[in-house]
Structure 1
Amino acid sequence: MVGDAISHAVLPGIVIAFLLSGSRETLPMLLGAGATGLLATFLIEYFHRRANLQTDAAIGVTFTFLFAIGIILISVFAGKVDLDQDCVLYGEIAYVPIDLWVTANGTILGPRPVYILAAVLLIVVLFIKLGYKELKLTSFDPAFASALGISTALWHYLLMAAVSLTTVSSFESVGAILVIAFLIGPPATAYLLTHELKHMLAITVVLGVFISFAGYWMAYWLNASIAGCMAVITGVCFAAAFGYQRARNMNKARMSEGLPPAGQAAG
């Protein structure tokens, strides 16, 4: 849910970026939002670790505080400017094909969000590849990681920075609904199917691709919201995995008691 908190907490960064640049162009808006997103993740973890707050309480305190600062900055310095999250961050995936990157000489290079998110994807993949061992140890066994001399705080903040970068860079092109749905849905579904981390990462990627295609064609067939349909497919996948896991656990319990699996007659 850190991504959901970031979607509100980035407002002061957007306002400050506008005040410094005097423009609502995408680059300064993203830079301002990204900086505030990193600040939000740092504050959440700081309050959770240093003030012993529950994670949900730390998230609530942080995003309401930063969001309120953003509202005050707008009312004082930018009251007559159409400047809010809806106009600079809450995008729509259907508009991606028409958001083109045009060079100074008029050459069209294709959709601009594709280049931005491809660069973010490369950064995140390299980060996971280079720091896989440290990320795994600090996430699942921080005591053992500390005993090996690995800085758990450093790697945790790096992970939260990657989450913040991915979240902010995705908001403008695909919208908040899809960002939250994909941050939570595919990995939660994968967790129901396997407890092996590498398998979980692979299943998450495959699910993300499947949900994207299935949700798009569902939206095309129903003439409905693309983001909404993708989020619905995410929920359907999670429900199917949950049902499969329940059936598998029930069969294991029956077999441990010497009973045949459900649906199979006793011999």
Structure 2
Amino acid sequence: MSYEMWIILTGSLVGVTCGTIGCLLIIRKMAMLSDGISHTVLLGIVLAYLISQSLSSIYMLIGALIIGMLTAFLVQFLYNRGIHTDASIGIVFTSLFALGVFLVSIYARQVHLDIDHVLMGEITFVPWNRLTLFGVDLGPQAVWMLGTVLVINTVILIIFYEPIKISSFDPVLATALGINVVFIHYLLMGMVSLSIVASFESVGSILVVTMLIVPGATAYLMTKRLSTMIAVSAMVGILGSVVGYAIAYWFDVSIAGAMSVALGLIFAIVFILQLIIKKMYQRSHRGKIHVT
């Protein structure tokens, strides 16, 4: 596969992995929690390095997953104590992120663990970081990691689809039906954390927020059926990656940034089209008398 195709494939995997999970966050009105987790995973990455003294992806994944779950727990804990959700997210993510920056500055200055790499990522380097098994080149490590997380998320969604759907739309009904809403909540937070960690090396933990929110928000404008929304969100993520790469190639700019811009443009187009269709519908029905 060519260098360009590996980059597009990586971006598409990020779009699908994050886009499908983002739908659930939007329905639950927790979209900005992804922003908080995307910042606090830095602390998990730093702690994983300090404990293991290794930059292996598996240690980073475990450390970031633990801190991602801790972030979700602390936000929920503060919310249950009467602090608004947005304030809870702000308090937790700024505190944990600042602690991560502090630890990097003191203990990891001489290590290739810089904040810019974690936050901004660099998808152009993905094709060069290869996975080799028994002397066989299997392709970029990021593709395998994203693919694995996508499979894990897909399996979880298939197994727990009904409980996730019911608890997302009506937590009270879910509790009445005997669904463990707390378990489903932290299961979803675990999926979000995994998706963010698997994506940050290629697009950065800040830009991954775009992939988590914009495809799902775009799909939400087009349909209210969850299964369709998830499928549309995945397609929007892929489209944004392809169009974004074309924009980056044409203007010679950051690929990850261009992908985020492309997703923003797609959302804007869908939003404007929805407004136009809504106006046309209202005009066509204006003045009509309905007899029942």
Give TM-score, length-normalised by structure 2.
0.81
How many angstroms apart in 2 are the aligned matches of 1:133 and 1:180? 26
Q: Could you give the per-residue CA deviations for residues 19-60 of structure 1, whole angstroms, max 9, x where no partner exists? A: 211223333223222221121122122222x11322211111
Q: Which of residues 148, 161, 172 in structure 2 aligns to 1:143? A: 172
How many angstroms apart in 1 are the aligned matches of 2:97 and 2:88? 14
How many angstroms apart in 1 are the aligned matches of 2:87 and 2:206? 22
- The one-letter code sitting in structure 1 at the alignment partner of 2:92 is T
Contact 2:119 2:204 in 1 (8 A): yes
Structure ID, larger Rg: 1
- The range that moved more, 51-60 or 82-91, is 82-91
How many angstroms apart in 2 are the aligned matches of 1:76 and 1:237? 42
How many angstroms apart in 2 are the aligned matches of 1:222 and 1:119? 32
How many angstroms apart in 2 are the aligned matches of 1:137 and 1:4? 25
- The one-letter code sitting in structure 2 at the alignment partner of 1:26 is S
How many angstroms apart in 2 are the aligned matches of 1:155 and 1:67? 26
How many angstroms apart in 2 are the aligned matches of 1:168 and 1:63? 16
Unpaired runs of 5+ residues, structure 1, are: 260-267
* Structure ranking higher on relative contact order (CA contacts 8 Å, 6+ apart): 2
| Correspondence for 1:14 | 45
Q: Could you give the per-residue CA deviations for residues 130-183 of structure 1, whole angstroms, max 9, x where no partner exists? A: 111111110111111111111111111111111111011110122234411111
1:101 aligns with 2:131: yes
How far apart are residue 84 of structure 1 and its match? 3.9
Query: Structure 1 residues 72 and 243 mapped into 2: Cα distance closer, same or farther (>3 Å)?
Result: closer
How far apart are residue 224 of structure 1 and its match? 1.8
How many angstroms apart in 1 are the aligned matches of 2:107 and 2:241? 40
Corresponding residue pairs, total:
257
**What SS does the corresponding residue of 1:108 show, helix, strand or coil?**
strand
How many angstroms apart in 1 are the aligned matches of 2:258 and 2:112? 29
Question: Identity over aligned residues, as a percent?
Answer: 46
Query: Structure 1 residues 232 and 99 mapped into 2: Cα distance closer, same or farther (>3 Å)?
Result: same
How many angstroms apart in 2 are the aligned matches of 1:160 and 1:98? 31
Query: Structure 1 residues 12 and 144 mapped into 2: Cα distance closer, same or farther (>3 Å)?
Result: same
Cα RMSD for the two superposed structures? 2.0
